[in-house]
Amino acid sequence: MNFMSLNGSAVSRCSVTSIPTSLAFFVIFAFYDSDYFHYKEVVESNWEYAHLEDVYINIIDFTNRNYTLFRTIVWGGAFCIFVAAINKLRLKQDLATFIFVAVVITKFSYARISLGFAIILLGLAFLTYKNKFALLPSIFGLSLLYVSVFFHRSMVFGAVVAIAALLSTKVNKTVLVIIALVVIALSGIIKNLALETYMMEMLTE
């Protein structure tokens, strides 16, 4: 009985540490996606950083163009913040792991927006925190929503939606979701049209 108990706890401890470590490794070393190598060229070469936010340029300078260290800070940091948010929300590890692997991980592991997304999620976790000292967590949560904007331009939209969702009623939340979906769809169409126009101009030059 004692042996089974000890063996079970050992297995449990092993899974608690090995699963997050494996996920973090997968997120940092996302060789399967072409954006991994695109960012590698950007970080290690003398390319212009016009499409990057200032915070990432500063990280590139700080890491002395070391791509592995850059990804460890950006994507590893995003994963750690995401885990902190999940713990703050008190989601079960099995459920959180399933959601992350089945839905989130492929997008999370290649787009730099992941860091902004993780910061917003942690901000929401603090904003929904309920206790008698709720003022301080709320201030910290709002500060995180503000900070997320510096990690990706689209986080302005995310922060606004997050605050609106917390303040709105159930009916308004339905309307908010519909508006958000329309805005996301339109922004995707505009982005694709702009990319096609840019590619056509490059081909005709």
pLDDT at 107: 81
Question: With 60 as the cut, is the pLDDT of residue 4 above it?
Answer: no
Question: With 60 as the cut, is the pLDDT of residue 8 above it?
Answer: no
Task: Look at 51 and 194; give whichever has higher pLDDT.
Answer: 51
Please give the Cα distance from 193 to 190 (Å, whole number): 5
Question: With 60 as the cut, is the pLDDT of residue 6 above it?
Answer: no
* Arithmetic mean of pLDDT over the chain: 78
Spatial CA neighbour of 35 closest among 102, 108, 120, 121? 108
- DSSP 8-state class, residue 30: -
pLDDT at 196: 62
Spatial CA neighbour of 144 closest among 128, 127, 132? 127
pTM for the complete prediction? 0.76
* Each residue's pLDDT tens digit, 73-96: 999 999 999 999 998 888 888 888
The mean pLDDT value for 14-27 works out to: 76
Residue 109, helix vs strand vs coil = coil
* Plot region of 29 (φ>0 → left; ψ -120 to 50 → alpha; else → beta): beta
Contacts of 119 (CB under 8 A, 6+ apart): 81, 144, 145, 147, 148, 151, 155
Q: Using the CB atoms, write b or e for 91-108: b if 16+ within 10 Å.
A: eeeeebbeebeeeebeeb
Question: With 90 as the cut, is the pLDDT of residue 62 above it?
Answer: yes
Cβ 156 vs Cβ 191: under 8 Å: no
The sign of the dihedral angle between the CA atoms of 142, 146, 149, 150 is: negative
- pLDDT band, residue 100 (cuts 50/70/90): confident
* Each residue's pLDDT tens digit, 25-49: 889 998 887 788 888 888 888 666 6
Taken as a whole, the chain contains a residue count of 205
